[in-house]
Structures are given as structure tokens and as C-alpha cells.
Structure 1
Amino acid sequence: MSSYEGSCHCGETQWTVKLNEDQAKHILCHCMTCQSLSGGAYTLNQIVPKDAISFSKGGNSLKSYTYKGDSGKDVHCYYCPNCTTHPYHNQTANEGNIVVRTGLLKKAHSIEPAAEIFGKDRFSFQKETAHTFEVLPPQ
């Protein structure tokens, strides 16, 4: 297991996330919610246990935004109150885990993609970079 440091855009929120070898990969999410929240074509993520993330700065100050996920259950998006960077999301459909934004990690450029989800919403000009699931993979 390796530790990866992350921070928001303004530096007011800083954290460490522990990823085991099979988690040290990006999952690209092309869903329309990720596109809307990020302003980009996809987000870079990984699903980890809640206790895999620890905050060294600003963790108690995070604000949250809640929406209904595809499951019909709440998804809580936690963000820096200053710059609005989203370090992680908590999907109540998968209560023991969180979705960490791996694109915010200091070593993000050295992390390879493992899979792509919600390929049905991928922008037409984007090429596939990893195995793509049309929605979520079977669990």
C-alpha cells in the first residue's frame, strides 16, 4: 500500500490517501454529472474505503453538495469552501467507500488508467484509453 498526497487548488485543503496496488489507477468517469461538476469531459477517480483518506489541513471545513445518483440514493460531494475543488464524494449506495479524485493527487501524472465508466456519455471526439463500461461494471 502506498500513500499519495493531494490538495485543492488554493491549498486550503490537503490530504493523504492510501491506495493498494490495484487501486493505484485512475477510473475515468464520463457521466454527465461528473462532466457538469468538473466542467470537463471526465473525472479521474478511485473507490477506496472511507478510512483510506486523512486530512492534514481543511478537512473539518469542507462543505458538501448532495444530489441523487443513478441508484436513486444520495451522493454527497465534499469540496473546499474557498476554491470549490472536490477531494472526494460519498455515494450512500456504497456506504463503506468513498470516491477519491485521483486527478488531484501530486503523483496523478504517473498513475495509469484502469477503466472508464459511463462510456455512453463519452464525448464523441475522445478515444478510449482503457476498458470501457457503458455504465457501471457489474458488482
Structure 2
Amino acid sequence: MSESAKLYHGSCHCDAVAFTANLTEGLSKPRRCTCSICRMRGAVAVSAKLDDLNVTRGEDKLSLYQFNTGTAKHYFCSICGIYTHHQRRSDPSLYAVNIACLEGVSPFDFEEVEVYDGVAAHTSDTGGKPVRAGVLKFIKD
């Protein structure tokens, strides 16, 4: 699935939080990570510049979670608990946006999703390029 950058509308499950995001590379580079929080939440993400994500409703309903270095800022709805986006540790000038929150988009729309090593080779720790840990595949019956 490949699309050029364009504006997407998104929200959490209960619709208390809504946002728009102009995705840097559209839906062309979905990804997952093996770090502890990404592994546990299981989201597929795409990128938006900080100025290109705007919370249009419910900013007061967003909760912030930070851990370890405190660089990444993980936002989720305080009512339904859905993770909507986070400011990336590997590139703090970008947000990672949960594609499952975007209108008309599902993680199951992507046949393959790159998975990057966020445990042993996080780019912020190694100073290098992302290291691919594998590929997540969705095979339709």
C-alpha cells in the first residue's frame, strides 16, 4: 500500500480525542518496533512532523506516559485507553501515529509491516540506521 503525504483525520476509540495529521510519507512506510512499550501495545505506526499533527478535540483527555530516558512522549486517551501517537525517541522532531486511529485505515490493510529492533539496536543508542528485526505479515484467508 503506498500513498503520497496527505491529511488524515483520526480519533481514539471513544471519540473523546480527535486529531488531524499530515503524514510525512503517507502510508508508504508503516512500522513496528520491538522495544518494551511498542511490543506490548502492538500498534503499527507512520510518521508526522510535530507541526503536522493537531489535536482538534479532547487535548485535556490525553494522558502522557514517559519512561526510561524520558525522550519519547506517549499519548493515550484517558477515557478509553487507546494510544493515539507519540513523540519519537529516535527522532524527536516526529510523531509516530497509530494507524488504527486513522479514519478508513486498518493495520490489516498492510500485507507486510517492517519491524525494527528497539531493544538491542535502537537508533538513539547506536547512532546508526534502524536495524530491521523482521517483518510482520498479514495473510488473508
Query: TM-score w.r.t. structure 2 length?
Result: 0.68
Alignment deviations for residues 44-100 of structure 1 (CA, whole Å, 9 cap, x no partner) = 0012211111122112431111112xxx45321111111111111113552211111
Distance between the aligned counterparts of 1:111 and 1:53, measured in 2?
22
1:67 matched residue in structure 2: 67
**Secondary structure in 1 aligned to 2:39?**
helix
Structure 1 residue runs of 5 or longer lacking an equivalent are 122-131
Instruction: Report if the CA contact (8 A) 2:23-2:47 is conserved.
Output: no
The RMSD of aligned alpha carbons is 2.8
1:23-102 correspondence to structure 2 within 5 Å: 23-25=26-28, 26-36=30-40, 38=41, 42-68=42-68, 72=69, 74-102=71-99
User: Residue in 1 aligned with 2:101?
Assistant: 104
The corresponding residue for 1:128 is none
For 2:124, the equivalent position in structure 1 comes to none
Instruction: Indicate how the Cα distance of structure 1 residues 57 and 73 shifts in structure 2: closer, same or farther if over 3 A, else same.
Output: closer
SS in 1 for 2:72: strand
Please give the alpha-carbon distance, in whole angstroms, between the structure 1 residues aligned to 2:26 and 2:6.
10
Structure 2 regions of 5+ residues with no counterpart?
121-130, 135-141
Identity of aligned residues (%): 19
Bigger helix fraction: 1
SS of the residue aligned with 2:44?
strand
Larger RCO of the pair (alpha carbons < 8 Å, separation 6+): 1
Aligned residue pairs: how many?
117
CA distance, structure 1, for counterparts of residue 119 and residue 50 of structure 2: 28
